[in-house]
A = this chain, B = another copy of it.
């Protein structure tokens, strides 16, 4: 067999790295809802069907994008105290996802742990390890991670979907029946303001405290 096998046939017009770069540019420019196979192909100046020679399908494309993004994330500072370490690792996950909310949607669409590369899993391992260091069994540590993951992914998804101008569009918060909904009526139109403030850190701290308290 030759050391450099000579290539035959029609020359390629694109490559997987080129496709991933274009996909990322498209998401950053127009949002991830606009990333379609057909638009991406048009952006690259190729036929839509050509993409299928470089990625298996759209889901595969998204996973490649996700692992590429995770691999390039900076490693966070990790304190020694287990509780603080969990908070730091969870916050790093959260911040990474906050920048790329579409990633959170993909991560809910499958048993994600096995689909991610080492860099992303490092934070998972950190949280599990810190829970064990705090005296939990491995099984309990998985529960700790999963609870934190639910909270984190929920916050990201709600935030991502509330960001648009459509949120709270034709809603009056002053119409609550004080007899049936006394507390909501008392809060009234302050709710949108209160709902805008970032409560992820305080909620996370409360959750971790609760999870590590026997």
Contacts and interface: CB of A to CB of B under 8 A. Distances in A.
Contacts of A213: 206, 209-210
**Central interface residue in A158, A202, A209, by most chain B CB within 10 Å:** A158
B161 A203 contact: no
A128 B203 contact: no
A199 B173 CA distance: 34
- Chain A contact-residue range equals 35 or more
A142 B180 contact: no
- Give chain A's interface secondary structure class: helix
Contact of A129 (B118, B171, B182, B205): B182
Given A108-B161, A171-B114, A138 B183 contact: yes
B108 A183 contact: no
A156 B121 CA distance: 22
Contacts of A200: 150
Interface string A154-169: 1101101110001110
A3 interface: no
A192 B191 CA distance: 39
**Central interface residue in A154, A172, A192, A194, by most chain B CB within 10 Å:** A154
Q: How many copies of the shown chain assemble into the complex?
A: 2
A193 to B, nearest CB: 9
A152 B203 CA distance: 13
A34 interface: no
20 contacts: A110-B167, A115-B171, A118-B177, A121-B181, A125-B182, A128-B187, A129-B182, A132-B183, A138-B183, A142-B191, A146-B199, A146-B203, A149-B154, A150-B154, A150-B158, A154-B157, A207-B210, A208-B210, A210-B210, A210-B213
